[in-house]
Structure 1
Amino acid sequence: MSDFSFKRHEKEIEKLIKRLDSSFYFYDLDKLESHLSYISNNKDEAIKLFFACKANPLSSILKLIRNLGIGVDVASLGELSQVVSSGVKASDIISTGPSKSRGYMSHLLRNEINCTVIESFYQLQWLEEVAKKEGVKARALLRVQLEWDNAEKSVLGGDEITAFGLDEKTWREIDLSQFPNVQVLGFHTFQWGNILEVSKLENIWDKACEKLKTLAAQMNLNLDIIDLGGGLGIPYQNQTTTIDFKDINAALVRLKEKHQLKTIWMELGRYAVGDCGFYMSQVIDRKNVRGRDILVLDGGINHIARPALTDQAFPCHVFKKENPTSTKEFHVHGPLCTALDKLGVFELPENTDYGDWLVFSQCGAYGFTEAMPFFLCHNLPAEVVSYKGDIMTPRVIKSSSDWLV
């Protein structure tokens, strides 16, 4: 999926480097549009796609997704506000996330969003209260935290006990007839992230569907929708496997037929937008410490925290140093006063030095909004988008004087 050529944007990138002189994100929205159009054109009509706003809430991206008819999943009031202001229709918005207050429930219903994913008994009570007060029938899915027969973990918990949803036993004990103003349409389950094997995804989804069908029968619930979340992976450092959505669609169609499902919802995050984004940061220093070659950058986990959170690096290369005659291993660090600020270990041209710019790819998802931007008061990175020949900077670089009080 990812490439480092930058040939199409090389001149624009050079101009941005001179103009900004500080770390920035660059998003190729033409590439994003092509990718999402391919997904939409290879999707069964009974499969509804949503974009997980948490992956990248930039308004330019949200508007493009809106124009392609893909829904959006929000997980906070801030995301809801951003999505609504980007012109996404209420019927194309669903709400997930383990933390939903009474007040937030009111915002969701007043904005007439499509569906709320209920993650606790309190949330079910509050949605009933708010729906009754507003005089509406609230549409909802119940999030189920399934138990698996292995101890494998993922960023979403896997078989670990997490704050997401309730277990099957707890949901079975709840009498849904006590909530007449809530229309429960089915279930939501999502415990595995960034998987690159379609067969593994299908196996997980198959087991989930079987368990959820049984639970629906036990609760006397019409199973109109199963939301399988996402989990579709993209290749990071030292990975080459990619997923073709045609194969995902074929797997979902098989599951729909096998389990006689009406509708399947999918929430795409990194798989939707990861490949369109790049993070660029300048080498500020180079040194050798006890035999280890180290590069220190202008930006680090204050701009792009995923390597520290997952111990997996974004692919990296040096801008405009192609096909080097010799390379060596560099440990790449950011500017923060903590050993956690490390972006990875990379094989880079041996002459990489002060003043060079490193390019990290696959950064369209879980980039800046996942970072820890205010520690040490460094600049916040700009975000630049390219679309149909236009280069725009929706967010300029911010210095500490812009936000310190």
Structure 2
Amino acid sequence: MNIPDDKLLSLIQSHRTPFFLYDGDALRAHVGSILERLHPAVKLHYALKANANVTIAALLSSLGCGVEIASAGELFIALKAGYKAEDIIFAGPGKTESELSEAIEAGIGCFNVESIRELRLLEKVAVRSGVRVRAAVRINPDADLSGATIKMGGTARPFGVDEAQLDVFFAAQQECGHIQFQGIQVYTGTQMLKAEDIIGSFENTVRLAGEISLKYGLPVHSINLGGGFGIPYFTHEQPLDMERVLQHLNGLVEEATQRMAGVRFIIESGRYLVAQAGMYVTKVLYTKISKGEKFVVTDGGMNHYASAAFRGRRLRDNYPVKVLGGNKLHSEMPSTAEHSLRQTLREEVTVVGPLCTPEDCLVRKAKLPVIMENDYICIPNAGAYGLSYSPVDFLGHPAPAELLAAGGQLYVIREHGNRTDALRHQRLIQPELLQEI
């Protein structure tokens, strides 16, 4: 995110908190830079699960990305965002018969099949629909070459077909007359920050594709290399050397396309594309001291940004935060010197949200600038796995808004929720109408 603090504060004070703010100009420049450096045989697909806001998805589509979905709901969003059906890949375990049917009817580009059972279910739905469908097999490789902290393959996982089971898979595939084999996908891990780990995974996937083509006599039309590109959340982490990754990828693709005529490559990314273009903003309601510890209580928390509250991640470090003084525009505003002093002084605080659970902790015992009521706590790198990953309905607080700053304008791309959302899809049956059991 490239918005200066003074402009950021002005944007923040013009809208009710809490909300997610995205920098559309930074997002466009970042993704455009990746696309222009890719070999022509490589297609970049956006992993919609990272941030499923339809405007963000539409922006990435307009830049030339394909999209990876993992549910019928995401299929609906992708089509609404303007993705062509042929640029949609359906991934993930547990695809239901109705979801497969809906995706076939939409004419999507490819299904990433995650099990032999799913292969047969896809064949059943394709037969009923009277069409041939394109499918690739997701492979869980025997060896873990990713070095990832969050492993998606190379060990026992619900994702993909074990490499050791490929004989059984391709025997079953030969019996599926309505499935056109496209190629393979390997996705071994996520949040990878070492270029050599990603390169090693890419090389292994290309090698595996060649072996499969020779062993089973099948043409490989596409090789999905996965992704897993990470971003540095913490001060001890170094940014991924993406230039090195892309240079090696392009060389690998150039060599492979000479051996396998017509083969296309896919890389997938969610976090790396959108995370750094987003920020979560919540307002300080008040501060308190409990048994010698200072707590900062804000109007948003775990229900909006679960990742910041340590849920689902191994590293228990605090995400970096920015504190902006909310009293700047008030008549009782401190002098410039006093404000600078507040920013210079540090105190240990714990930042919590409004939820009645000890899990609702955004920052635990961190040294931050002196925080006062009406200040703003801003958490950067929140463009991925923020709202899309969070238990929004917990305790009935309204959903946060989502804002997009682009081209000098600020757009509301998701309205704030309200109290009626807590009853969405519920039906009230009066107790006197209930029959006794």
TM-score (norm 2): 0.85
Amino acid at match of 1:61: I
- Per the alignment, residue 300 of structure 2 pairs with 299
More displaced stretch, 318-327 vs 145-154 = 145-154
- Per the alignment, residue 143 of structure 1 pairs with 138
**Shift of residue 362 of structure 1?**
0.6
Amino acid at match of 1:183: Q
CA distance in 2, matches of 1:216, 1:322: 65
| Deviation string, structure 1 residues 293-323 (Cα, Å, up to 9, x no partner) | 3322211110001132113543211024778
Q: Any idea what SS the aligned residue of 1:403 has?
A: helix
- 8 Å contact from structure 1 (residues 270, 365) kept in 2: yes
Q: Which residue of the other structure, out of 98, 105, 114, is the alignment partner of 2:100? A: 105
Any residues of structure 2 matched to 1:212-251 within 5 Å, and which? 212-239=209-236, 241-243=238-240, 245-251=242-248
Does residue 25 of the first structure (1) align with residue 44 of the second (2)? no
- Per the alignment, residue 330 of structure 2 pairs with none
Does residue 210 of the first structure (1) align with residue 207 of the second (2)? yes
Q: Any idea what SS the aligned residue of 2:273 has?
A: helix
- Per the alignment, residue 11 of structure 1 pairs with 10
**Shift of residue 254 of structure 1?**
3.2
Any residues of structure 2 matched to 1:257-272 within 5 Å, and which? 257=254, 260=259, 262-272=263-273
Amino acid at match of 2:368: L
CA distance in 2, matches of 1:305, 1:265: 30
- Per the alignment, residue 78 of structure 1 pairs with 73
Amino acid at match of 1:121: I
CA distance in 2, matches of 1:58, 1:4: 21
| Deviation string, structure 1 residues 217-263 (Cα, Å, up to 9, x no partner) | 33332222221211101111324522354322212123335655632
- Per the alignment, residue 169 of structure 1 pairs with 164
**Shift of residue 86 of structure 1?**
1.6
**Shift of residue 205 of structure 1?**
2.3
- Per the alignment, residue 435 of structure 2 pairs with none
- 8 Å contact from structure 2 (residues 149, 192) kept in 1: no
Any residues of structure 2 matched to 1:6-405 within 5 Å, and which? 6-16=5-15, 20=16, 22-148=17-143, 154-174=149-169, 175=171, 176-239=173-236, 241-243=238-240, 245-257=242-254, 260=259, 262-306=263-307, 307-310=310-313, 311-320=316-325, 324-345=343-364, 346-349=366-369, 351-404=370-423, 405=426
Q: Any idea what SS the aligned residue of 1:308 has?
A: coil
**Shift of residue 52 of structure 1?**
0.4
Query: CA, structure 1 residues 322+204, in 2 after alignment: closer, same or farther (shift >3 Å)?
Result: farther
- 8 Å contact from structure 1 (residues 293, 330) kept in 2: yes
* Unpaired segments ≥5 residues, structure 2: 326-338, 427-437
- 8 Å contact from structure 1 (residues 153, 159) kept in 2: no
| Deviation string, structure 1 residues 251-281 (Cα, Å, up to 9, x no partner) | 2123335655632211110111111111001
**Shift of residue 200 of structure 1?**
1.9
| Deviation string, structure 1 residues 54-98 (Cα, Å, up to 9, x no partner) | 011111111111111110111100000011112211121111111
**Shift of residue 36 of structure 1?**
1.1
Amino acid at match of 2:344: T
CA distance in 2, matches of 1:151, 1:26: 32
**Shift of residue 43 of structure 1?**
0.9
- 8 Å contact from structure 1 (residues 43, 246) kept in 2: no
Residues paired across the two proteins, number: 399
Query: CA, structure 1 residues 192+149, in 2 after alignment: closer, same or farther (shift >3 Å)?
Result: closer
More displaced stretch, 240-249 vs 27-36 = 240-249
- 8 Å contact from structure 1 (residues 138, 181) kept in 2: yes
TM-score (norm 1): 0.91
CA distance in 2, matches of 1:230, 1:93: 16
CA distance in 2, matches of 1:101, 1:250: 39
Query: CA, structure 1 residues 294+237, in 2 after alignment: closer, same or farther (shift >3 Å)?
Result: farther
CA distance in 2, matches of 1:322, 1:191: 47
Q: Any idea what SS the aligned residue of 2:391 has?
A: coil
- 8 Å contact from structure 1 (residues 383, 396) kept in 2: yes
More displaced stretch, 74-83 vs 391-400 = 391-400
- 8 Å contact from structure 1 (residues 154, 191) kept in 2: no
Query: CA, structure 1 residues 328+159, in 2 after alignment: closer, same or farther (shift >3 Å)?
Result: farther
Q: Any idea what SS the aligned residue of 1:100 has?
A: coil
Query: CA, structure 1 residues 191+322, in 2 after alignment: closer, same or farther (shift >3 Å)?
Result: farther
| Deviation string, structure 1 residues 20-39 (Cα, Å, up to 9, x no partner) | 1x311111111111111111
Instruction: Give runs of ≥4 in structure 1 deviating > 4 Å.
Output: 149-153, 257-261, 320-323
Query: Bigger radius of gyration, 1 or 2?
Result: 2
Amino acid at match of 1:308: R
More displaced stretch, 49-58 vs 314-323 = 314-323
